[in-house]
């Protein structure tokens, strides 16, 4: 059995429990996850007893070459809806991210409710998925070391460009998000944009790449002053203790609390302004996450980042991030040390 068929069977079982006839997916990575085909324009994936994807004429060849489930050329909403009604479909589950403009096309013909069946499947990675995330991480980390960042005299923008180029040269498909290279006071901005200026201090780099569809994500901060080192040490302690605490059976919010309590104990609790981490896979941000509000139970096969940070507005920021694959404990993917010297 193909792993995609396994996922579909699990979703069909969940649908049966909730008495749904079909499940509509349009998100590109959701369609790819279920079928192996990643749309380039649009697609409507209908999971039912005989799953089907309606796709554009321009994608038909691509879909036929890659999809593990039936492909039909999309003609119109009316044709698609009528075919579903002729099959006796009366109620329709939809992915939570379905665009409202798509929802309104279906709402008059079916009973509709939002369901996270697909997210539930994507939470647990297969060994093959973890291997691809590992490869992406290794490529990204090797490329980072090529920068020789401590001796690099280029601008932030140039360094970001070079890092992306190195990742692609080393086998990546592309970067997994807009690469962050920032320095000086701008490092207090968690999502700073690289500027056309020489590196100041400290230096914060947040980067990752995609390998065979799967994402990686790392952050390192290089510090220089005594105050910067003090903050770095606190963040490193938070990072390490959170990773050490990870194990199946605990809640995601409990991992977040471990990281957050360390920073709060040093008096910087209000300067840790985001969650401790997020899952990744085909998308750079997936569920669950290590946040105060996420009570999802940690399970073997989850892959989640750990990235505590302290941000001193107008001064500087420090963030340290690694990706963790959960087995009996949390295992850091990659071998890049926290302290780059």
- Identify the pLDDT of residue 4: 79
CA distance 90 to 88: 6
Residue 339 has pLDDT above 70, yes or no: yes
Instruction: Check pLDDT > 70 for residue 119.
Output: yes
Q: What is the pLDDT of residue 89?
A: 97
| Residue-wise pLDDT tens digits, 89-100 | 999 999 999 999
Q: For 325-337, write each residue's pLDDT tens digit.
A: 999 999 999 999 9
pLDDT digits (tens, 9 = 90+) for 74-90: 999 999 999 999 999 99
* Predicted local confidence at residue 2, as pLDDT: 65
Compute the average pLDDT of residues 110-133. Answer: 97
């Amino acid at each position: 059995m193909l792993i995609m068929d396994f996922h579909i069977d699990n979703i069909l079982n969940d649908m049966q429990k909730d008495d749904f006839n079909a499940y509509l997916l349009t998100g590109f990575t959701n369609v790819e996850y279920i079928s192996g085909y990643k749309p380039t324009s649009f697609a409507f994936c209908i999971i039912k007893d005989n799953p089907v994807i309606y796709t554009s004429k321009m994608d038909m060849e691509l879909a036929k070459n890659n999809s593990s489930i039936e492909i039909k050329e999309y003609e119109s909403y009316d044709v698609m809806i009528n075919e579903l009604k002729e099959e006796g479909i009366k109620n329709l589950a939809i992915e939570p991210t379905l665009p409202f403009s798509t929802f309104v096309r279906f709402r008059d013909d079916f009973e509709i409710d939002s369901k996270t069946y697909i997210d539930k499947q994507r939470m647990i990675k297969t060994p093959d998925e973890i291997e691809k995330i590992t490869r992406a991480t290794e490529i990204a980390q090797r490329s980072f070391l090529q920068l020789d960042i401590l001796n690099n005299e280029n601008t932030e923008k140039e360094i970001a460009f070079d890092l992306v180029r190195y990742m692609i040269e080393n086998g990546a498909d592309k970067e997994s998000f807009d690469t962050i290279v920032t320095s000086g006071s701008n490092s207090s901005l968690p999502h700073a944009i690289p500027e056309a200026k020489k590196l100041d201090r400290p230096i914060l780099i947040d980067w990752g790449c995609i390998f065979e569809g799967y994402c990686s994500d790392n952050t390192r901060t290089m510090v220089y002053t005594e105050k910067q080192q003090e903050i770095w040490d606190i963040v490193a302690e938070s990072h390490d203790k959170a990773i050490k605490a990870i194990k199946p059976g605990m809640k995601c919010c409990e991992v977040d609390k471990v990281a957050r309590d360390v920073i709060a104990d040093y008096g910087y609790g209000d300067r840790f302004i985001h969650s401790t981490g997020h899952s990744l896979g085909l998308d750079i941000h997936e569920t669950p996450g290590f946040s105060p509000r996420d009570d999802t139970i940690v399970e073997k096969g989850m892959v989640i980042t750990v990235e505590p940070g302290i941000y001193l507005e107008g001064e500087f920021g420090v963030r340290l991030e690694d990706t963790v694959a959960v087995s009996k404990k949390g295992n850091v993917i990659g071998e890049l040390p926290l302290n780059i010297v």
